[in-house]
């Protein structure tokens, strides 16, 4: 279950209010890992696991790009907590 602020509608509602307070918007994607483990420990060093994750991750990123454009976000931040993952897939 997601909090309202984690839904597309919730994000748009809150973002609409921020420019009124002269706050620049940075949309940051967050990866939630099972049992609240730190996502920086996600390695995905198996090819099968990468093949399963990357298409859905790519869809998530592209959908977030569209959302950032729709709400006129000043910044879009992706992948900041996936350091171990990119070690195995720097091209991705």
Instruction: Compare 70 and 88 and report the one with higher pLDDT.
Output: 70
What is the structure's pLDDT at 2? 63
Using the predicted structure, report yes or no on whether residue 86 has a pLDDT greater than 90: no
pLDDT band at 8 (very low <50, low <70, confident <90, very high): confident
CB proximity list for 50: less than 8 A, separation 6 or greater: 44, 88, 89, 92
Look at residues 90, 19, 23, 29 and name the one whose alpha carbon lies nearest to residue 63.
29
Using the predicted structure, report yes or no on whether residue 40 has a pLDDT greater than 80: no
DSSP 32-85: --GGG--GGG----SHHHHHHHHHHHHHHHHHHHHHHHHTT-SEEE-STT-HHH
Domain extents in the chain: 4-88
């Amino acid at each position: 279950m997601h909090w309202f602020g984690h839904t597309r509608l919730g994000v748009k509602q809150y973002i609409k209010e921020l420019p009124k307070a002269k706050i620049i918007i940075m949309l940051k994607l967050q990866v939630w890992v099972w049992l609240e483990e730190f996502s920086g420990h996600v390695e995905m060093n198996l090819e099968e696991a990468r093949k399963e994750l990357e298409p859905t991750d790519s869809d998530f990123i592209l959908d977030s790009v569209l959302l950032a454009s729709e709400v006129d976000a000043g910044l879009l931040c992706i992948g900041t907590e996936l350091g171990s993952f990119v070690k195995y897939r720097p091209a991705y």
